[in-house]
Structure 1
Amino acid sequence: MAQVLEFKLPDLGEGLTEAEIVRWLVEVGDVVAIDQPVVEVETAKAMVEVPCPYGGVVTARFGEEGSELPVGAPLLTVAVGATEAPASPAPSTSSASSASGASSAGAPAAEESSAGSGNVLVGYGTGAPAARRRRIRPERVGTPAAPAPAPAPVVEPEPAPVAVSAATGEVNGQQGPVAVVSPLVRRLARQHEIDLRRLTGSGPDGLILRADVDSAIREAEEAARAQTRTAPAEPVVAEVPTAGTAAPAAAERIPLRGVRGAVADKLSRSRSEIPDATCWVDADATELMAARAAMNAASGPSGGPKVSVLALLARICTAALARYPELNSTVDTAAREIVRLPGVHLGFAAQTERGLVVPVVRDAHIRNAESIGAEIARLTELARTGKLSPAQLTGGTFTLNNYGVFGVDGSTPIINHPEAAMLGVGRIMPKPWVHNGELAVRQVVQLSLTFDHRVCDGGTAGGFLRYVADCVEQPAVLLRTL
């Protein structure tokens, strides 16, 4: 017989408490292998494909795309082969799916289903030997296609039609085995007085999903509002509500969750905990742009990747932090201590379709400009495709923010908590500038440094910013530290 196991949303690390379902990778009735990704979720830090530790047939999914689930909430249930009675009552699922998961599984399948996957997630996974898992997996994946007498008594038992008829009677006019409506869907329909017999299910074999019920609820509410608008009323009273209700209808409410919610929480915490101050300076970047052009020309057409302006600024930052380590630190508020960090893990702001993210270049203090540039390019591509892991978005000690790409000259950036400083870079553009005592057109950039006033005073912050500006104006200054 089939044993239905429940897979709950695991803790994906970094202290995350919830995740939003972006895309289901499997449908009810699909056969899944051990460690096969079943759903793509968005956490506050990254997009993650979640693998299922069980192999068998998917009998139920919990949560529609776009909904948010807390860690530990049921994600899906899988029917796997078992020789013993189920450890817990199986949820309302399709009897056909249960039969598929049970066929020709045998005792070895039961042993592995109880052992789970060797792919360890936080809160999930076991020490099951990987070799044993590979022997079982082909047998499990091929199960639904193999004919076996076992499904016959399971496909046509009384419980599945009873579960369906208790909720809907005859679903969509179909008789016989029909994918059962879940208790959650039945309760939701009952609460809103929705007759499930009148709905057309969009799931496999006419399965009525929560989305179908939600759609019916919206249609009923719209019909009720339309009836209210067309109901007779006193002339004066009828016009005032019509004008008054227009404004709320035009207002859009956007939940602060996922990446947007994480950014909001971090920025709010930064402003509430860190006494920040900002200083800025204009710098002549003409020589820096000329040095970059010379570097890229020397590499030739096929001499490797080009050095970006951001990579050069990042290398300048690491040199400046070596001189002013106070800005590569954090504050332990509980202990009332300033913690100076031994290495520079340089974060850089990257705007993506999912919002603002800050990938981190590890050990930037031991990299040259070319190495930093290559890592920035790699992380930027991962950010654009939504494939950055939580580990690649945490652990930064200093952030470089190039907002000049948006066509603005200056800003007062908010510190990326719990760091102590952030360097902002505006656009580089031709401006009138006094050079060698004469007025000339030069490539000018505005640099701004926001710093935690607890870790240093204005003199230190000014020294850091002045050194950065000197390196921008005279790149040869960097030769002293290379």
Structure 2
Amino acid sequence: MPQVLEFRLPDLGEGLTEAEIVRWLVEVGDVVAIDQPVVEVETAKAMVEVPCPYGGVVTARFGDEGAELPVGAPLLTVAVGSPVESAAGGADADSGTEDSGSGNVLVGYGTGAPPVRRRRVRPEGLKAAVAVSVTSVEAAAQAPAPALVPVPDPAPGPVAVVSPLVRRLARQHDLDLRRLAGSGPDGLILRADVESAIRSAAEAPVPEPAASSSPAGERVALRGVRGAVADKLSRSRREIPDATCWVDADATALMAARAAMNGAAGAGAAKVSVLALLARICTAALARHPELNSTVDQEAREIVRLPQVHLGFAAQTDRGLVVPVVRDAHARTTESIGAEIARLTEAARTGTLKPAELTGGTFTLNNYGVFGVDGSTPIINHPEAAMLGVGRIVPKPWVYEGELAVRQVVQLSLTFDHRVCDGGTAGGFLRYVADCVEQPALLLRSV
């Protein structure tokens, strides 16, 4: 008789607690091999293919495309055992079900079972496997639903809950766990108990309120990328005492240098972008002012100055604002930085950035000039210590060599963590950036 194993949404790392189902890669009845991707999910960081650690026949899927699941929630069930192998026509000889699980989490880790072509078991061959899971589901459905305990004032003390997911689910639905009778051992409150209580509350008649205190209007869930951005920005505002300084700079020489570089590169060569030039200027400025390439260890009350510059840059996508990271930007040339920015930007546009490409930044460059605005006061990308903002480069009247002239002018702003340095250091960094924008030849001193 086959054994039906349940595969739950694994911990995808980077502190992620939930993921949205984008696309199922298998259907009920399909034969899967160990470590074969079965579903594509989207987290707050990136899109990831999740492999199944079991080899066998898919007997059930949990969650429709577009549904959001917490880590630990059931994804699918797989029937593993000889009856399934017979129904599959010996498929497990290729998929390696002798070792029914790998413990794998993400593609590229753990065991490397050989890929198999997607096959589906005939319905009659799947009946034995499905019957096992159906019987258990029916038994669970016939079990009496846990009820809310009518306790007007719950007594203080510990609540019989072990799973943090259960607590989180209760918080999301404003459910008081002290009023809930658990169906687990020794009254342990299970996820099924909370879900049943939520359903009961939803089905109960709601009295007509005298006046609604909630504002009317369209409600948009803060989840995915938007939710992650909201959490990070809120934390930045809570923890970091930030300050902003800004300066206008004459970017005429920088634009001329860019044109000369692109002209000399030839028709087939990649063009050097303004963002790449500004990124190279930032790495030179951080070499002179390393205080701004740091983070703060709040528990130890220490400033941690970082040896490498991992430069993040803000990129607006259909999924929201993301910050891809150019690793070891301090060791790259302008052309290398530009090529990596182009690669990461394309990956951001197509939604294929990996979680590792969105984390670990030490300093962020934010070019909001692409939106047609001159200035801004950026919020620091926690846990970094500073962010350089760049406005649009536009012709403006400017006093140049003692005479009024029309020049290409840009506003630069630096938001910095006042714990890591004072205004003199921040001003020195921003002044050096502005000087390099006005006189790009200054970069030759740091090459």
* Amino acid paired to 1:112: T
2:105 to 101, 114, 121: 121
Q: CA deviation at 1:398?
A: 0.4
Deviates more, 1:151-160 or 1:314-323: 151-160
* Residue-by-residue CA offset, 1:190-248 (whole Å, 9 max, x unaligned): x9xxxxxxxxxxxxxxxxxxxxxxxxx9xxx9xx99xxxxxxxxxxx9xx99xx89x98
Q: What's the counterpart of residue 287 of structure 1? A: 253
Is residue 81–residue 101 contact of structure 1 (8 Å, CA) maintained in 2?
A: no
CA distance in 2, matches of 1:437, 1:16: 57
* Amino acid paired to 2:297: D
Deviates more, 1:268-277 or 1:103-112: 103-112
* Amino acid paired to 2:327: R
CA distance in 2, matches of 1:356, 1:420: 19
Percent identity between the aligned chains?
Answer: 74
* Amino acid paired to 1:14: E
1:400 to 365, 371, 374: 365
Q: CA deviation at 1:185?
A: 8.8
CA distance in 1, matches of 2:384, 2:130: 63
Aligned residue pairs total: 392
Is residue 29–residue 126 contact of structure 2 (8 Å, CA) maintained in 1?
A: no
Q: What's the counterpart of residue 375 of structure 1? A: 340
Q: CA deviation at 1:52?
A: 1.8
CA distance in 2, matches of 1:31, 1:14: 31
* Residue-by-residue CA offset, 1:277-320 (whole Å, 9 max, x unaligned): 00000000001000000000001112x20000000000000000
Q: What's the counterpart of residue 455 of structure 1? A: 420
* 2:77 aligned with 1:112: no
* 2:281 aligned with 1:296: no
Q: What's the counterpart of residue 187 of structure 2? A: none
Q: What SS does the aligned partner of 1:112 have?
A: coil
Change in CA separation of 1:48 and 1:110 when aligned onto 2, cut-off 3 Å? closer
Aligned residues: CA RMSD: 3.6
Is residue 283–residue 445 contact of structure 1 (8 Å, CA) maintained in 2?
A: yes
Q: What's the counterpart of residue 47 of structure 1? A: 47
Q: CA deviation at 1:77?
A: 0.9
CA distance in 2, matches of 1:123, 1:370: 32
* 2:271 aligned with 1:271: no
Query: Unpaired segments of 5 or more residues in structure 1?
Result: 84-98, 146-150, 164-179, 192-216, 226-236
Q: CA deviation at 1:29?
A: 2.3
Q: CA deviation at 1:57?
A: 2.3
Change in CA separation of 1:142 and 1:421 when aligned onto 2, cut-off 3 Å? closer
* Residue-by-residue CA offset, 1:374-400 (whole Å, 9 max, x unaligned): 000000111111111111111100000
2:298 to 324, 328, 333: 333
Q: What SS does the aligned partner of 2:381 have?
A: coil
CA distance in 2, matches of 1:124, 1:323: 40
1:256 to 210, 219, 222: 222
Larger Rg: 1
* Residue-by-residue CA offset, 1:404-462 (whole Å, 9 max, x unaligned): 00111000000000100000000001111111111111110000000000111000100
Matches within 5 A, 1:52-451: 52-82=52-82, 102-105=87-90, 112=97, 114-117=99-102, 120-121=104-105, 130=112, 133-134=113-114, 138=116, 144=121, 155=127, 251-302=217-268, 304-451=269-416
Q: CA deviation at 1:104?
A: 4.1
Q: CA deviation at 1:30?
A: 2.7
* Residue-by-residue CA offset, 1:24-77 (whole Å, 9 max, x unaligned): 222222333333322111112111111222233221111222222121221111
* Amino acid paired to 1:48: V
Query: Unpaired segments of 5 or more residues in structure 2?
Result: 148-198
CA distance in 2, matches of 1:121, 1:308: 38
Is residue 50–residue 107 contact of structure 2 (8 Å, CA) maintained in 1?
A: no
Change in CA separation of 1:106 and 1:478 when aligned onto 2, cut-off 3 Å? closer
Question: Normalized per residue, which structure has more helix?
Answer: 1
Is residue 9–residue 72 contact of structure 1 (8 Å, CA) maintained in 2?
A: yes
Change in CA separation of 1:277 and 1:248 when aligned onto 2, cut-off 3 Å? closer
Q: What SS does the aligned partner of 1:384 have?
A: helix
Is residue 19–residue 68 contact of structure 2 (8 Å, CA) maintained in 1?
A: yes
Is residue 8–residue 76 contact of structure 2 (8 Å, CA) maintained in 1?
A: yes
CA distance in 1, matches of 2:30, 2:137: 17
Q: TM-score, normalised by structure 1?
A: 0.73
